[in-house]
Amino acid sequence: MTQADPRMPKADRGTLLSIQTGRVRPLMVSGRKMASAIGKTPVSGPVEVGVMGLLGDEQADPTVHGGLSKAVYAMPSEHLPWWRAQRQTRGVTLFEEDLAPGLLGENLSLHGVLEQDLFIGDTLQFGEVALRVTQPREPCGKFNAVMAYPQAAKDMVLSGRCGFYLAVDRPGFLQVGATFEVIPGPRAISVLQVLQHKAWKHLR
């Protein structure tokens, strides 16, 4: 009996549930006021996406956010119930409150793909638009601030529920509700494996 190749995608297509952009604004991080564009809000489409990201989206620190290889940040929607439960467990909220789209800083909320199944170099094909997977998100203290508890960044690394950055190989327009196909790249290392290799930096 022939075994399935583990490098082949378990899900070869998915759906774009929402699109978010954000402007730079003040954010309190550990008692200090810092500039940040981590807070994203939903926008109605179609939304133009160029090689530097979505129209109307900003980055406060271009040395660590944005650029050609991190033009767009995507988060699997499958993770949102887990993050909601974490905030309740940590005492941020007493109720099961839905997380607003963009709270985690994501530009795209996707359904159907997870970090362990996507590899660096895979392409998400949205019709004319091609977005290439480049790396996992590595959270910083600003993520702790927006999630409202100090262990949020470590929780992201330990759980692997990090999302991933995308380069825009073919610009165009994105629309909520659009489906995409996963086009396999070299399939040498998955998004989750890259995060695991870098985890020591965040868990010291």
What is the pLDDT tens value at each position of the chain, 204 positions in all?
A: 445 555 555 669 999 999 999 999 888 888 889 888 898 999 987 999 999 999 999 988 887 789 999 999 999 999 999 999 999 999 998 777 889 999 999 999 999 999 999 999 999 999 999 999 999 999 988 999 999 999 999 999 999 999 999 999 999 999 999 999 999 999 999 999 999 998 776 666
What pLDDT score was predicted for residue 20? 98
Per-residue model confidence (pLDDT) at position 29 = 86
Residue 147, pLDDT score = 94
Asked if 128 contacts 46 with a C-beta cutoff of 8 angstroms, the reply is: no
Domains of the chain: 13-202 (2.40.33.20)
Name the token pair of 132: 């290439």
Q: Is 141 helix (H, G, I), strand (E, B) or coil?
A: helix
Assign 183 to helix, strand or coil.
strand
DSSP 110: E
pLDDT number for residue 1: 46
Give the pLDDT confidence score for residue 4 in this predicted structure: 53
Look up the pTM and report it: 0.92
